[in-house]
Amino acid sequence: DAFVCANIAIPYTPPAAHLLLAQIAFKKGDLEGAEAEAREAMSGGRRQAGPWLVLADISIARGEPNEAIDVLTQALDEGVTDHSLHAKLAITYIWIGQFDQAGEVLQGLEDTNELSLLLAFGRLALSREQWNEARGWFERALIVDPDNPMIKLNLGFVAVSEGRLADAQNFLEDSLSGNPRSFEGWDTLGMVLARQGDAYSAIAAWERAREINPAIIGVVYNLGLGYAQVGQLEKAIAHFEEFVARAEPGPQRDQAQALIERLELRVSQGRCTGKLGQLLYSTECKGDCDGTSLQETDGSRAPRRSGRRLLVDDTGDAEPDHRTRDRPTGTPHRPLPRYGDRDRGRLEVRRQQPGR
């Protein structure tokens, strides 16, 4: 219906009609068509932000964030005034890890009630590990739009980073009730449930995440840990084998291979319960213990908590992988927290490429 109405409106309001057609084409995945319609919308001479934002989204969808930055910078240089341009530009800088440049874009815009800017300020603070400041921005955003699932998702990330797992669970569940197709939400909820000792619910959440985005392999690793935790070792082995087959060479791939060997030994010995639970858990945290019962980030990396951690014999930490995130259409990846030492409040911003 929107497509038909937009075509009917072309003779009367060409820029608006072409912008709508560009947005429709983009949502359908027709990037070339979206670009053509966006440039047609710009030809009317009106200084509207919409076509520039669509062009930036197209560049991001093509994996060219620097081109998106050029597009947005050009729009601002040409006098197109819209807070959404500043917000999109800042978030794109955040996505590629250029936090200082994002701060420069947002400088002087702190006194705002614009939702896009509040979210951009919050994401910048989150990326800089400034938990209190990030929470403040997202709480201000929640006042503007109390039902926004993205705001609640970000508040969930902050709560995880501060070790407030019960609050994190509430925020994430509220977010998912409004956006049940959020890979990032389900993946992070799985981690939170795992850390609270509910391995079965964690598995269910990670299965939902995998259903939404099977290209992200971090959740496959998490599922391996989850099934090992509940004593379903053959399923655990199958997930670790899939992870090894798809992952790039590196420490986590080596870890998964080591876990396969240990778990296969347990299966051959018929040790799938009881002793496995003792093997997987360390009852005392010492030194660099991360305090997780299992286990990002665009993500999800939350502060480590005292308690038990998942160990598998002498292979080292078997920590769930949170370097995963969903990517809402037309927006850059949002980095998830990488869980580190609670006392230091560490957060590493990393990006994980989809597996082969």
Residue 293 has a CB neighbour count (10 Å cut-off) of: 21
Distance, in Å, from the CA atom of 165 to the CA atom of 233, rounded to the nearest integer, reads 27
Which residues are CB-contacts of 327 (< 8 A; sequence separation ≥ 6)? 298, 333
More reliable by pLDDT, 303 or 97: 97
- Determine the pLDDT at residue 334: 37
- Determine the pLDDT at residue 172: 98
Confidence of residue 188 (pLDDT cuts 50, 70, 90): very high
- Percent of the chain at pLDDT > 70 equals 71
- Determine the pLDDT at residue 19: 84
- Determine the pLDDT at residue 354: 40
Tell me the pLDDT tens digit for each residue of 223-250: 999 999 999 999 999 999 999 999 999 9
- Determine the pLDDT at residue 325: 39
Q: Of all helices (H) and strands (E), which one includes residue 281?
A: strand 281-282
Return the exposure string of 93-112: e unless at least 16 CB atoms fall within 10 Å of the residue's CB, then b: bbbbebbebbbebbeebeeb
Residue 66 has pLDDT above 80, yes or no: yes
Q: Closest by alpha carbon to 218, among 178, 174, 250, 258? A: 250
Tell me the pLDDT tens digit for each residue of 190-206: 999 999 999 999 999 99
pLDDT averaged over every residue in the chain: 78
Distance, in Å, from the CA atom of 198 to the CA atom of 171, rounded to the nearest integer, reads 17
Let me know: does 152 contact 167? Beta carbons within 8 Å.
Answer: no
Confidence of residue 53 (pLDDT cuts 50, 70, 90): very high
What is the longest distance spanned by two Cα atoms in the chain? 76
- Determine the pLDDT at residue 317: 37
Residue 10 has pLDDT above 70, yes or no: no
Distance, in Å, from the CA atom of 164 to the CA atom of 161, rounded to the nearest integer, reads 8
Helix, coil or strand: residue 111: coil
Helix axes 131-144, 115-127, angle to 10 degrees: 160
Q: Closest by alpha carbon to 297, among 334, 329, 345, 328? A: 334
Measured distance between the N- and C-terminal CA atoms of the chain, rounded to whole angstroms: 38
Tell me the pLDDT tens digit for each residue of 284-330: 222 222 222 232 233 333 333 323 233 233 223 344 554 443 333 33
Residue 179 has pLDDT above 50, yes or no: yes
Helix, coil or strand: residue 229: helix
Let me know: does 308 contact 282? Beta carbons within 8 Å.
Answer: yes
Q: Mean pLDDT, to the nearest integer, of 121-125? A: 97
| DSSP letter, residue 144 | H
Tell me the pLDDT tens digit for each residue of 268-296: 887 665 444 433 322 222 222 222 223 22
Question: Which segment of 21-30, 110-119, 233-242, 340-349 scores lowest on mean pLDDT?
Answer: 340-349
